[in-house]
């Protein structure tokens, strides 16, 4: 049974419906590699293959979020992200396949090759693409124009609501079951990229619920105003409180039992901006581990892991791969259609 949370709390499972999207449980593996004169073995959690068409960490959240949209009778799903946001891509893809129309409010970011491909995907997918930014007043007016009166269910950026975090409570229980089955050694630390914090919040709660003493290394990849310890604990507390209200058997004080260390030293010059440590980590992952990472999220999380191993840390560690390894089927020759694409996004096709 992949829904460990529903098995542990049957009342919660009966009251918190999910849409079956992800292929769970995702596999784990052990990998060895050398850095200098030392050889290391790490565990890897492969959420990169969480979906047959498009994987990554977003599916676990979307299983709960899209089912809620369906329960509320929504016809359209709207969400937010930067140009090549994996959350926006995953939401648009799975919303369409679940029968929803989809609007993505997209913001500019540092130019990267993936940006063009993401926009081509949205055009091919039929996503309604809206330029989002400017003053708060302008953003509010944009949301009103494209969301109000359209029977739209608005999904927060990154899917990081209390309901989205529930997907990763289940993930924490899932990895605990894999450890108990002997599929991997119990790690002292889990390294995971932390953007809007829903993934980290849910995983921390799930591990605490399992009783495992594992410290999450939350490798910050966004601005500190978005990802910080205060906001993380607020989200964890809200998630536990809401689940306790649905099922009193769920511990309301669970957030106080979590173990998370925020890692701020690997964000570099900011979101979607790479650096030497990140590029080296991507190269090690590709050449030594056979993994394809990227420079916005997972490359920075791997950089933190490699740094710690280089300082002599030798307890078991696990790398949680949140980046989809499923190749999006996109027509690379698709040119921008400016009846459907904001002209401000033309720069990503240059």
**What is the average pLDDT across 115-142?**
94
Q: Is residue 291 part of a domain?
A: yes
- 298 and 183, same structural domain? yes
Residue 241 is predicted with a pLDDT of: 98
Average pLDDT of 312-328? Answer: 94
| Chosen domain end from 110, 144, 159 | 159
Of 140, 159, 178, which one is at a domain's C-terminal end? 159
35 versus 330: which is more confidently predicted?
A: 330
Give the pLDDT of residue 327: 83
The C-alpha torsion from 82 through 86 and 91 to 96, rounded to 10°, is 100
Let me know whether 227 and 132 are in one domain: no
pLDDT of residue 138: 96
Range 310-321 average pLDDT:
95
Flag whether pLDDT at 27 surpasses 90: yes
Residues 68 and 171 in one domain: no
Q: Is residue 252 part of a domain?
A: yes
Domain annotation covers residue 338: no
DSSP three-state, residue 216: strand
Confidence at residue 336, expressed as pLDDT on a 0 to 100 scale: 82
Are 30 and 100 contained in the same domain?
no
Is residue 63 domain-shared with residue 124, that is, in the same domain?
A: yes
Q: What is the pLDDT of residue 79?
A: 98
Is residue 109 over pLDDT 90?
no
Q: What is the pLDDT of residue 110?
A: 78
Res. 207: pLDDT tops 90: yes
Report helix angle 198-210 to 229-246, nearest 10.
60
Q: Is residue 349 part of a domain?
A: no
> What range defines the domain where residue 144 resides?
58-159
CA distance 190 to 178: 14
For tokens 């925020």, the residue is: 262
pLDDT of 36 reads 75
Distances (CA, A) of 189 to 111, 124, 170, 213: 33, 40, 18, 9
pLDDT at 1: 46
Q: Which residue has the tokens 């979307």?
A: 62
pLDDT of residue 145: 96
Do the domain assignments include residue 334? no
Mean pLDDT of 91-95: 97
Flag whether 346 is in a domain: no
Task: Judge whether residue 332 has pLDDT over 90.
Answer: no
Q: Which of the four pLDDT bands, split at 50, 70 and 90, describes residue 114?
A: confident
- Say what angle helices 58-71 and 86-97 make with each other, to 10 degrees: 40
Mean pLDDT of the 274-292 span: 96
Tell me, yes or no, whether 77 and 116 share the same domain: yes
**What's the pTM?**
0.95
Q: Is residue 274 in some structural domain?
A: yes
Residue 108 shares a structural domain with residue 78? yes
The domain that holds 101 is classified in CATH as: 3.40.50.1100
More confident residue, 304 or 273: 304
Total domains, the chain? 2
Kindly state whether residue 146 falls inside one of the protein's structural domains: yes
What percent of the chain shows pLDDT beyond 90?
88
Q: Give yes or no for a contact between 2 and 17, defined as CB atoms under 8 angstroms apart.
A: no
Q: Are residues 167 and 288 in the same domain?
A: yes
Q: Last residue of a domain, which of 159, 175, 200?
A: 159
- The residues, any chain, with a CB within 8 Å of residue 327's CB and separated by 6 or more, are none
Q: Are residues 136 and 196 in the same domain?
A: no
Dist CA 80 CA 87 (whole Å): 8
Q: How confident is the model at residue 73 (pLDDT cuts 50, 70, 90)?
A: very high
184 and 307 share one domain: yes
Least Cα distance to 198 among 89, 294, 306, 62 occurs for 62
User: Does 79 share its domain with 53?
Assistant: no
The answer to whether residues 126 and 175 belong to one domain is no
Average pLDDT, the chain: 95
Query: Average pLDDT of 97-101?
Result: 97
């Amino acid at each position: 049974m992949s829904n460990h949370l529903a098995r542990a709390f049957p009342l919660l499972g009966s009251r918190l419906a999910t849409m079956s999207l992800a292929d769970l449980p995702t596999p784990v593996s052990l990998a060895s590699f050398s850095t200098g004169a030392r050889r290391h073995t790490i565990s890897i959690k492969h959420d990169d293959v969480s979906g047959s068409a498009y994987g990554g960490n977003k599916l676990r959240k979307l299983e709960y979020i899209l089912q809620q949209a369906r329960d509320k009778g929504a016809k359209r799903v709207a969400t937010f992200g930067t140009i090549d946001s994996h959350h926006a891509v995953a939401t648009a893809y799975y919303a369409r396949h679940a029968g929803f129309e989809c609007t993505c409010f997209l913001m500019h970011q540092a130019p990267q090759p993936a940006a063009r491909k993401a926009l081509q995907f949205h055009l091919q997918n039929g996503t309604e693409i809206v330029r989002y930014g400017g003053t708060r007043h302008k953003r509010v007016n944009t949301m009103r124009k494209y969301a109000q009166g359209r029977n739209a269910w608005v999904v927060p950026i990154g899917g990081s609501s209390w309901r989205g975090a529930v997907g990763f409570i289940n993930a924490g229980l899932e990895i605990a079951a894999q450890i108990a089955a002997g599929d991997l050694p119990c790690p002292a630390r889990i390294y995971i990229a932390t953007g809007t914090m829903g993934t980290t919040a849910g995983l921390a709660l799930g591990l605490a619920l399992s009783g495992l003493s594992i410290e999450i290394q939350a490798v910050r990849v966004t601005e500190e105003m978005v990802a910080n310890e205060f906001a993380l604990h607020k989200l964890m507390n809200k998630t536990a409180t809401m689940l306790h209200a649905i099922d009193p058997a769920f511990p309301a004080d669970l957030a106080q039992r979590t173990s998370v260390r925020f890692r701020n030293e690997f964000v570099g010059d900011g979101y979607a901006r790479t650096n030497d440590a990140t590029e080296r980590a991507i190269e090690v992952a590709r050449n030594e581990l056979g993994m394809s990472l990227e420079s916005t999220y997972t490359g920075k999380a791997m950089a933190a892991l490699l740094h710690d191993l280089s300082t002599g840390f030798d307890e078991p560690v696990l790398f949680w791969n949140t980046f989809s390894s499923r190749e999006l089927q996109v027509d690379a020759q698709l040119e921008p259609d400016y009846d459907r694409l904001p002209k401000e996004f033309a720069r990503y096709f240059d």
